[in-house]
Amino acid sequence: MNRKKHVILVGMPGSGKSNMGFFLSKLMRMPFIDTDYYITVKEQKSIAKIFAEHGEDCFRKIEQQILLEIIEKDPSVIATGGGMPCFYNNMDIMNEFAVTVYLELTPEKLFEHLKTDTKRPLLKGKTGEELTDYINISLEQRKSFYEKADITIQAYDKTPAQLATELVKNISGFMANMTQ
Ligand code: S3P
């Protein structure tokens, strides 16, 4: 039985999951959920504060609980935190309950998007060189998880609205193939 009722966006921090997800949800007339925002509201704490006060392991546990909670909801477009697919069996859960989409961006483009970031705890205080290393290393470690997604879309040189329009077509094509 096909249990894929959501659309879940995965990819590195800075790949544009939240911006694009918002546009996609409007086009698909589905609610939009951003897992980081959802966690912030539920825990009444910023992601940075959760990392600082409880550590990354605790954040990853909360992240999985949230994923299990969200997949029970009505069909939604869900933008995930960059690490979510890479812990526990999260990517397999996502693939079971959603059409998954990897927003792929080159390390150079990710650097452009992240170099002025002040909010993400894993990037805090990094020099330009350290950020480049972090992006290259984590992309290498995470790629195999992201690449399990049903659809991969190149996310550069397009606005979130253009990407969302392109993706609606890809998702319909994917769904049509699945039901054949
Ligand atoms: C993380 C990415 C963040 C957030 C947390 C951890 C990661 O989400 O979940 O800071 O491990 O890469 P974004 O991908 O929205 O930045």
The minimum-distance atom of ligand 1 relative to the CA of 36 is 9
User: Would you say residue 163 lies in a domain?
Assistant: no
User: Would you say residue 70 lies in a domain?
Assistant: yes
User: Would you say residue 64 lies in a domain?
Assistant: yes
User: Would you say residue 108 lies in a domain?
Assistant: yes
Look at the chain and report how many structural domains it folds into: 1
The predicted pLDDT at position 95 comes to 98
The predicted-structure confidence for 27-86, as pLDDT tens digits, reads as follows: 999 999 999 999 999 999 999 999 999 999 999 999 999 999 999 999 999 999 999 999
How much distance in Å is there from the Cα of 178 to the middle of ligand 1?
31
- Its domain, for residue 105, covers 6-156
How much distance in Å is there from the Cα of 4 to the middle of ligand 1?
24
pLDDT for 180 beyond 90: no
The minimum-distance atom of ligand 1 relative to the CA of 48 is 10
CB atoms within 10 A of CB 91: 22
Per-chain mean pLDDT for the chain: 96
- The order of strands in the sheet holding 32-34 is 32-34, 77-79, 6-10, 98-104, 151-154
Report the CATH number at residue 148: 3.40.50.300
Q: Ligand 1, atom 3: nearest CA belongs to which residue?
A: 81
User: Would you say residue 35 lies in a domain?
Assistant: yes
- DSSP H helices in the chain: 17-28, 35-43, 47-54, 56-70, 90-97, 107-114, 128-146, 160-179
CB atoms within 10 A of CB 75: 14
User: Would you say residue 172 lies in a domain?
Assistant: no
pLDDT for 2 beyond 90: no
The predicted pLDDT at position 47 comes to 97
What is the rounded average pLDDT of the residues 139-159?
95
Label residue 103 exposed, middle or buried (CB < 10 Å: 0-12, 13-18, 19+): buried
pLDDT for 178 beyond 90: no
How much distance in Å is there from the Cα of 172 to the middle of ligand 1?
28
User: Would you say residue 114 lies in a domain?
Assistant: yes
The minimum-distance atom of ligand 1 relative to the CA of 82 is 14
